[in-house]
Amino acid sequence: MTLIAAPPAPRPTKTILRALAGETLPVPPIWMMRQAGRYLPEYRATRAQAGDFLKLCYTPDLAAEVTLQPIRRFGFDAAIMFADILLVPQALGSDLWFVTGEGPRLSTITDAAGVAALRPAGSVHDTLAPVYETLRILRRELPAETTLIGFAGAPWTVATYMVAGRGTKDQAPAHAMKQADRAAFAALIDRIGDATVEYLSAQIEAGAEVVKLFDSWAGSLRGQDFDDFAVAPTARIIAALNDRHPGIPVIAFPREAGPRYVGFAAATGADAVALDNGVSAEWAAMNVQRAGPGGCVQGNLDPRHMVTGGPELVDETRRIVRALAGGPHIFNLGHGITPDADPDNVALMIETVRAGG
């Protein structure tokens, strides 16, 4: 019997998908973390219309609108859906509210009983259904060339908020729970990880073409803790998503990982690693981009340049583009754009990238 080989998978046409597939492009695709946000006057107007932040997240028409605003204004190569990483703990049963000028607050989980009281991972869809509708709207309304990105917080970062009940400078409450009862803390990480698989899987089914895991506080983990609570949970989530949705790329962002960026993609199965601006593009080119399979990196302009602008913005943008030109690269900031950024500086950054750096 003659076996006929299956035809090769079609080559992606969208620039970000091409970079994530390992292709080095003459001009890197570009998007920006928090690109839908308070630096845009149109966002502030829509936020006022919603009345409060959570209502904005859970009103699909408005969440889609703020996601589309930076695409209309700047023509980014990707749109990242508007939501918040703390919707997952809310869907698991934590109380969540936002204090004006101070940020999120949650009911706290500090022991095994608190972990056991959380809802099952599969129940999160009841709360998160509006997010999936936002994605369906975006798939209809985005330009054909624009990639749609979904996201979630990585388990460690989400856990730090669930234990402390708020953002903290050094994540001390989560570290304390981890030291006092490592098994209970590991169970919390697992519960968040299971819910995250459900959440991201549903995002993909609703239209996300790429998903990203934000581990904003990964840099506070050291040694075995980094392996156990940053690497291992990310690897489990990516493996589960690959089983359910083969071919959907995942970007991992273990912020402030420093030397632990090296080998992170290989250890977790991520298709790209997003870099903060604490490492240089030159170092990343040598140690991350050209050191592993695929080797796609994302980043990593310092967000302060979106405030200060000028020749320094142009020079730093050019330096990053040139340093990472030898491999697959998605241009982005090293962290989210800040509310005091000038939209004109965003336009200048994009113009510089697309001019060839």
Q: Can you list the positions of beta strands (E) in 62-168?
A: 78-80, 96-99, 103-106, 147-153
Q: Which residue has the tokens 């308070």?
A: 38
Is the distance from CB of 102 to CB of 31 less than 8 angstroms? no
Mean pLDDT of the residues in the chain: 95
| pLDDT at 5 > cutoff 80 | no
| Of 227, 248, 247, nearest in space to 236 by CA | 227
Q: Catalytic residue among 47, 191, 255, 260, which?
A: 47
Of all residues in the chain, the percent with pLDDT exceeding 90 is 92
Q: What's the CA gap between 225 and 166, in Å, rounded?
A: 21
Q: Which residues, 6+ apart, have CB-to-CB distance to 88 below 8 Å? A: 124, 128, 152, 153, 158, 192, 195, 196, 199
Average pLDDT rounded to a whole number, residues 188-213: 98
Rounded to a whole number, what is the distance in angstroms from the first to the last CA of the chain?
Answer: 54
| pLDDT at 1 > cutoff 50 | no
Q: What are phi and psi of 113, to 5 degrees?
A: -65, -40
| pLDDT at 291 > cutoff 80 | no
Active site residue 38: yes
Is the distance from CB of 308 to CB of 330 less than 8 angstroms? no
Q: Is the pTM of this model over 0.85?
A: yes
The pLDDT confidence band at residue 356, using thresholds 50, 70 and 90, is confident
Active site residue 34: yes
| pLDDT at 309 > cutoff 90 | yes
Q: Return the H-helix or E-strand segment holding 253.
A: strand 250-254
pLDDT per position as a tens digit, 223-272? 999 999 999 999 999 999 999 999 999 999 999 999 999 999 999 999 99
How confident is the model at residue 277, as a pLDDT? 96
Dig out the tokens for 182 from the structure: 């490592």
DSSP string computed for 18-42: HHHTTPPPSS--B--TT-SSTTSHH
pLDDT per position as a tens digit, 14-43? 999 999 999 999 999 999 999 999 999 999
Domain 32-300 in this protein, CATH class? alpha beta
Dig out the tokens for 235 from the structure: 């690897």
Q: Catalytic residue among 44, 84, 181, 322, which?
A: 84
Q: Return the H-helix or E-strand segment holding 239.
A: helix 232-244
- The b-or-e profile of 202-213 (16+ CB within 10 A means b, else e) is bbbebbbbbbbb
Higher pLDDT, 102 or 130: 130
Q: What's the CA gap between 32 and 346, in Å, rounded?
A: 9
| β 103-106/96-99 pair status | antiparallel
| Of 209, 68, 43, 63, nearest in space to 128 by CA | 63
Q: Catalytic residue among 43, 58, 132, 161, which?
A: 161
Q: Catalytic residue among 38, 44, 73, 166, which?
A: 38
Average pLDDT rounded to a whole number, residues 68-93: 98
| Of 234, 222, 310, nearest in space to 259 by CA | 222
Q: What's the CA gap between 53 and 73, in Å, rounded?
A: 22
How confident is the model at residue 318, as a pLDDT? 98
Q: Catalytic residue among 18, 34, 191, 236, which?
A: 34
| Of 211, 250, 254, nearest in space to 231 by CA | 254
| Of 203, 263, 216, nearest in space to 235 by CA | 263
| pLDDT at 4 > cutoff 90 | no
Is the distance from CB of 42 to CB of 72 less than 8 angstroms? no
How confident is the model at residue 12, as a pLDDT? 82
Q: Which residues, 6+ apart, have CB-to-CB distance to 26 below 8 Å? A: 356
Amino acid letter for position 188: L
Q: What's the CA gap between 276 and 255, in Å, rounded?
A: 6
Q: What's the CA gap between 198 and 188, in Å, rounded?
A: 16
